[in-house]
Amino acid sequence: MPQSLQALARHDEAVVCYENALAIDADYVEATRGLAITSHALKRHEESIAGYRKALAIESDHAETHNNLGNALQALGRYAEAIACYETAVAIKPDLAAAYHNRGNAFQALQRHDRAVASYQKALAIAPELIEAHVNCAAGFQALNQHEAAIAHCEKALAIEPCSFAAHNNLGRVLQEIGRIDEACCAFEKAIEVAPRRPGLYVNLFNCRNVSPGDPYLAALEALAGDRGSLTDNGQIELDFALSKAYSDIGQHERSFHHLLEGNALKRRHIVYDEAAVLRWFDGVRRVFTPAVIRERRSLGDPSSVPVFIVGMMRSGSTLVEQILASHPRVFAAGERKDFATALRTFDADGAAAPNIGAVLPLNGEELRRVGATYLAGLRAAAPQADKIIDKMPANFRFLGLIHLALPNARIRGALWSRMGRPLPSLLRDTTAGKDRQRSPGSAADLPQLSQALEAGRRSAAALARSARNPGVT
């Protein structure tokens, strides 16, 4: 009975059934597992975790329960614990493809894409028609700049299920990244045909091409806007950003700006941002990466002079600086790269966006060279023959001290806001990949403090470079 209710998504009624069963027999393991599964479906993840652990206390060698516990932990962002659960699951049941796939998702969330891909491939070796594993493996390969492998997995997913909007969407993103724009637009359009009520697909399409008056996709999006209350918060955010881009393209700027404000305001409500903690982190960087530390360790990293970092606050002109530098035929503009943060996660079990400053100094020469070499491997994949490759990820300013240690011969350029141009440009796109980068319109007055902190950090980095006789920072 409760299983039937679960299948019908009548989860609250299923909970009552399971609780009645457990009132009769508190150790009834099937009811304990069933209640945990239903709690997970209701997004009551803490209750779900407690239920799975109770079930494992009764029956510790149930692989599926370890897998499900991992899923509940992953839903709360507890990725290291989730990975441990998945590994226990496959140790008990080596052919449990779902556990390998879910472990891949956890590694992907930590941006450890090489491990994610390896996990997805394990899952596919057991279940070659697992569409989700093909789609997610494609995303992993894309993050590793292995675009042909990413395309191949998207195509395999579509051969199994031609109506997979996720596969069409991922294929479009890969094609767009490698400049095959017309094909990318076709892929996004096919994704929309399959799932027309997913505004994120319109965001991807409109970011790939301009919108013209009478565009049928704009008409479809406007119809969806009439029923925005049926969308999740994330769907409404994507709807606003898609409409903003479309209205801007057709010259309806007041409507465009209205949706920019709506989308940013809604997104901001979902972000926990501790500015004081960020400023303390900046202070820690200055305190740890002293001239003496740089002098003592500057020769330990990878000696390559290929990387050119452009750092600064978002929307501060970094793209213009990149274009000017890339006008030289021996310089390649690789865009905003996550490779350095990914390389650092090798030393961070929890996959934090910024490493624990106190944990950095114990890194020895071999480890620093490995950070540099790991970063270079990803960067080099973008342009194997270029003499210089530009990485214009603005948030790399967090890692200036580490960049000096891991890549002492890298060049660094800083981009800062002008006083007149600080607040507005940050509203012009959904920049939610990094929580510390998204600001609300009401917090614009705080931006000078962050900009001043960044400028102080840039000056400190330049001073460190001079003291270490490295001319690479300006």
Q: Phi first, then psi: give them for residue 446, nearest 5 degrees.
A: -80, -10
Residue 128 domain flag: no
Residue 436 banded pLDDT, cuts 50, 70, 90 = very low
User: What does the pLDDT look like over 363-408, one tens digit per residue?
Assistant: 778 888 988 998 998 888 778 889 999 999 988 888 888 898 899 9
Residue 255 per-residue DSSP state: H
Strands 307-312 and 331-333: unpaired
As a whole number of angstroms, the distance between CA 47 and CA 35 comes to 9
Count of C-beta atoms within a 10 Å radius of residue 452: 11
Asked if the model's pLDDT at residue 415 lies above 50, the reply is yes
Residue 62 domain flag: no
Q: Domain span at residue 393?
A: 275-467
By C-alpha distance, which of 261, 229, 231, 270 is closest to 243? 261
User: What does the pLDDT look like over 85-106, one tens digit per residue?
Assistant: 999 999 999 999 999 999 999 9
| Overall average pLDDT of the 184-210 stretch | 97
The whole-number pLDDT of residue 433 equals 45
More confident residue, 159 or 110: 159
Residue 58 domain flag: no
The whole-number pLDDT of residue 441 equals 43
As a whole number of angstroms, the distance between CA 246 and CA 332 comes to 31
Residue 445 banded pLDDT, cuts 50, 70, 90 = very low
90-129 burial string, b = 16+ CB within 10 Å, else e? bebbeebbbbbbbbbbbbbebbbbbbbbbbbebbbebbee
* Amino acid at the residue 326: A
Burial of 171 (0-12, 13-18, 19+ CB in 10 A): buried
Query: What pTM was estimated for this model as a whole?
Result: 0.75
User: What does the pLDDT look like over 36-86, one tens digit per residue?
Assistant: 999 999 999 999 999 999 999 999 999 999 999 999 999 999 999 999 999
As a whole number of angstroms, the distance between CA 91 and CA 355 comes to 31
By C-alpha distance, which of 121, 168, 159 is closest to 140? 121
End-to-end CA distance of the chain: 69
Tokens for 330? 């021996």
Residue 316 banded pLDDT, cuts 50, 70, 90 = confident
Residue 403 domain flag: yes
Q: Phi first, then psi: give them for residue 312, nearest 5 degrees.
A: 150, -170
User: Which are the contacts of 181, defined by CB distance < 8 A and separation ≥ 6?
Assistant: 175, 208, 209
Residue 159 domain flag: no
| Overall average pLDDT of the 195-212 stretch | 96
User: What does the pLDDT look like over 301-310, one tens digit per residue?
Assistant: 999 999 999 9
The whole-number pLDDT of residue 106 equals 96
Asked if the model's pLDDT at residue 435 lies above 90, the reply is no
Tokens for 107? 């590694």
Q: Which residues pair with 308 in a beta bridge?
A: 390, 411
Burial of 328 (0-12, 13-18, 19+ CB in 10 A): exposed
User: What does the pLDDT look like over 280-295, one tens digit per residue?
Assistant: 887 887 888 888 888 8
Q: Which long-range contacts (CB under 8 A, 24 or more apart) does 221-224 make?
A: 221/246, 224/196, 224/197, 224/199
Query: What is the percent of the chain where pLDDT is above 70?
Result: 83
User: What does the pLDDT look like over 139-194, one tens digit per residue?
Assistant: 999 988 889 999 999 999 999 999 999 999 999 999 998 889 999 999 999 999 99
Residue 431 domain flag: yes
By C-alpha distance, which of 123, 127, 92 is closest to 106? 123
Number of structural domains (the chain) is: 1
CB 239 within 8 Å of CB 405:
no
The whole-number pLDDT of residue 444 equals 45
| Overall average pLDDT of the 114-143 stretch | 96
By C-alpha distance, which of 94, 26, 32 is closest to 69? 32
* Amino acid at the residue 172: G
Residue 457 domain flag: yes
Asked if the model's pLDDT at residue 466 lies above 80, the reply is no
Asked if the model's pLDDT at residue 456 lies above 70, the reply is no
| Overall average pLDDT of the 2-11 stretch | 72
Residue 440 domain flag: yes
Alpha carbons within 13 A on the beta-carbon side of 62: 18
